[in-house]
Structure 1
Amino acid sequence: MSEHSMLPLFPLQTVLVPGAVLGLRVFEPRYLDMVGECGRSGAGFGVCLIAEGGEVGVPAVPAEFGTEALIEDFGTDDEGLLTLQVRGARRFRVARTVVRGNGLVEAEVEWRADDPAGARLRPEHALLGTLLERIFDQVGRPDDPGAGFQDAAWVGWRLLELLPMPEERRVQLLALDDPRARLESLLALIG
């Protein structure tokens, strides 16, 4: 049985995946209010790809799947705008949305199961682990090395974060509950 809860959404033109770090600039009152609420409660908010609409102005329609964002750090930029560093946590499916009076989209979300712990990379996916190591050689290793190059879920999330692909495709892979199915799709993408 899936757990449901209400989660404020920050729809963006990008997809956040579990374990990934994302920098945000916050200036619209609805999102400043949301960040204040999250700070007081210690809760996260949801990041979803925008299915229809824009990041600013009229409330956007979110994609069906997203990732909870937990605030790790905050500050202000040169223009005095609030900056956040968030890290992707749990995945969710949007069951329904409501728009608050201030224009903030809030969703009833169904939390997706966590990836099984310790699922090792299978021999047919070894190429993906090697590819990820080569990418890290080029762009640098993340500050949170996670489970490592033999962990199927971790390799899949890092590749989903780093490989160039349409954001809509990233959402499709985010929706997959099986880390090995995610790896199969990534293999097909680079093949």
Structure 2
Amino acid sequence: MPAEPIWVPLFPLKTVLFPGGALPLRVFETRYIDMVRECMREELPFGVVLIKSGQEVGAAAEPEAVGCLAHITSWEMPSLGLMMLQTRGGLRFRILETRVLTDQRLEARIAMLMPEAPAPVTDDLHGCAISLETVIANIEAVGQAEQGSDFDSPFTRPLHFDDAGWVANRWCEILPIPLAARQKLLELDDPLDRLAIVQKYLKQHDIL
């Protein structure tokens, strides 16, 4: 993606997408099916943003200022008017301005935030990586036991337990924290700061 501000379509949701995260989407509104088709035709991502006020359906919602690009990795249309997407989180961005199209879709002029360069997990945060590895293994074991070959892991490969940003992002996705707190963690530029906050939460709740 270019460094200068560009316009991208937005998908306001009641979720927070992190870089490297997997986000399955069930798309049924005509406006968003049109948006997805256009993105696939142009081979471009769309922006996923947490809804600040409003709803996922109906009139355009007000988004938070920072979001994450979603790249479509696979899709299917099991029935007319329904698309099932698999997307993966890309770079974070900041919204500079928005505009509402006639079908109530949102577009935003965005500036890309600094890509998160791999940052080694420091010794004092190493427990977060070890615990995450155990949690992911358990989630996948249970899923495979219950669903067999139909199980799709919620964690994209490859796994990077030595990368502080990757470890922090995966914890942020699975911990039962409020969406507002998840959004604040997304907005942090330093992955070590994000992981340090995660570690504090894990210790407070006797997970570490």
Q: TM-score, normalised by structure 2?
A: 0.85
**Higher alpha-carbon deviation: 136-145 or 98-107:** 136-145
Q: How far has the Cα of 1:110 moved from its partner?
A: 1.4
Counterparts of 1:2-41 in structure 2, within 5 Å, are 3-41=4-42
Corresponding residue for residue 181 of structure 2: 169
Deviations 1:107-160, CA, capped at 9 Å, x for gaps: 11111111123x2100111111112012112212634124x2111111111111
The one-letter code sitting in structure 2 at the alignment partner of 1:134 is T
Counterparts of 1:143-158 in structure 2, within 5 Å, are 143-146=156-159, 148-158=160-170
Corresponding residue for residue 183 of structure 1: 195
Unaligned stretches of 5+ residues in structure 2: 141-152, 204-208
Q: How far has the Cα of 1:73 moved from its partner?
A: 0.6
Counterparts of 1:66-105 in structure 2, within 5 Å, are 66-77=67-78, 81-105=82-106
CA distance in 1, matches of 2:156, 2:181: 26
Is 1:109 the counterpart of 2:110? The answer is yes
Secondary structure of 2:31's match?
helix
CA distance in 2, matches of 1:188, 1:18: 22
Is 1:61 the counterpart of 2:73? The answer is no
Indicate the RMSD between aligned Cα atoms, in angstroms. Answer: 1.5
Matched residues, number: 188
**Higher alpha-carbon deviation: 37-46 or 149-158:** 149-158
CA distance in 2, matches of 1:62, 1:143: 26
Secondary structure of 2:18's match?
coil
Q: Give the share of equivalent positions with the same residue, in percent.
A: 40
Question: Which structure has the highest helix share of the two?
Answer: 2
**Higher alpha-carbon deviation: 157-166 or 52-61:** 157-166
Instruction: Provide closer, same or farther for how the CA distance between residues 186 and 3 of structure 1 changes in structure 2, counting only shifts above 3 A.
Output: farther
Deviations 1:162-187, CA, capped at 9 Å, x for gaps: 22211111110111111101111112
Corresponding residue for residue 51 of structure 1: 52
Q: TM-score, normalised by structure 1?
A: 0.92
**Higher alpha-carbon deviation: 27-36 or 71-80:** 71-80
Counterparts of 1:113-152 in structure 2, within 5 Å, are 113-117=114-118, 119-140=119-140, 142-146=155-159, 148-152=160-164
**Higher alpha-carbon deviation: 159-168 or 35-44:** 159-168
CA distance in 2, matches of 1:9, 1:81: 19
Unaligned stretches of 5+ residues in structure 1: none
CA distance in 1, matches of 2:42, 2:57: 25
